[in-house]
Amino acid sequence: MTHSYRQPGIVLTDRRFTVPLDHDDADGETIELYAREVVASDKADDDLPWLLYLQGGPGFGAHRFIGKQAWLGRALEEFRVLLLDQRGTGASTPANRQTLPLRGGPREQADYLTHFRADSIVRDCEAIRPQVTGGAPWTVLGQSFGGFCTVAYLSTAPEGLRAALITGGLPALDAHADDVYRAAYPRIERKVAAHYARYPQDVERVRRIAEYLLRHEPVLNGGYRLTVEAFQSLGILLGGSEGSHRLHFLLEDAFVRTPQGLELSDAFQEEVHHLLSFAGHPLYALVHEAIYGQDERPTAWSAERVRAEFPQFDAGKALTGDGPVLFTGESVHPWMFDTDPALRPLRDTAHLLAERTDWTPLYDRARLAANEVPVAAAIYHDDMYVDTGHALDTARAIRGLRTWVTDEFEHDGVRAGGPRVLDRLLALARDEV
């Protein structure tokens, strides 16, 4: 059953689909997918081509736009858009601390979560495409992890694609998670250096906060333990266009004077809890490193192991000298399953996923080398989340792919510069520029 409603300038329709949990077992268990169809009000009755949007993540539902925000307005000039909540996210069948115990214990939960990577998402898309388009191929716009899914789509079911548009999401085709993080930490350090160059007063502010956390380790609302490592992970903000400024404003009012002396303010603690909690997207933490698993090597908490190779990120050591305390970025660590109450019940499940040695390849180099689908990709120069070198290597491996390498945007360029970014990618895919 579908339900339609309106926002300014658009008509939205809720769509629900039933797909197999395991596409290799079509008669087995099923899960539900939710998607929101969007069309311009003045084109609601027109026969339009479809554009499927694959959100970044993993573990996030499709963005809830209001009206024609970001890139959506440009897309609605010529497409009917489907905003898909990838399996386990948003309004699709959820996978979190409340629902996963229905599977059984940690081992059963970990087995279940192996079906939540890009390969299963692509097969979901192909399963619902005939119901949406009548069988016609569609254009896919993949942001970040959505771009990873798009490359997997090109590898396994290119016949379903009219064109592929990728923003900040060209994955390394063969790299292990260790390779990904060895490339990531130097990028993160550059982003932190750029932030401190812009806001030099934040060097001392961060040191004071880190010193306080090492002494007190406060417990935030809901039971979140604010360790110094958790505080450092706020560096994830630095990968976005406004992130450095948001981080600065957060830091400038961290302390308040109380009868007991200086303490972290309630306002600071509340905002930090909002930024760090995985309650709204636990799949991000659970399968984040699994998206890089493609062979018999376990991911084995790669980001944590590789971080030890970069001692400059050790806050305790930094505080013994006069150097800056470095933030970290987009990485998942085992201690998160202790600090965050939304993740604590899933600690054993996460460890089992980190130990798995049966990951299957997500990308097919031979098929990508023979690609015939028009593909265009925006590659953001020194993107904090996706290594530019890895992205360029992959671009060269996909036949006919056209790149737009730019330092005008950060990783969130499709949001910050949406209409222009999408317009550029469409022109590249159509060989108009």
Active site amino acids: 144, 358, 411
Query: Which contiguous run of DSSP H or E holds residue 52?
Result: strand 50-54
Residue 36 corresponds to which tokens in the numbers above? 């929101």
Instruction: Tell me the three state secondary structure of residue 263.
Output: strand
Dihedrals phi, psi of 306, to nearest 5 degrees: -70, -30
Residue reference for tokens 């406004």:
242
Residue 146 corresponds to which tokens in the numbers above? 């959505």
Residue reference for tokens 């926002």:
7
For residue 325, what are the contacts with CB-CB under 8 A and spacing of at least 6? Answer: 206, 207, 210, 232, 315, 318, 319
Burial class (CB in 10 A: 0-12, 13-18, 19+), 73: middle
Best CA proximity match to 375, nearest among 360, 354, 357, 397: 397
The one-letter amino acid at 350:
A
Question: How many whole angstroms separate alpha carbon 194 and alpha carbon 198?
Answer: 6
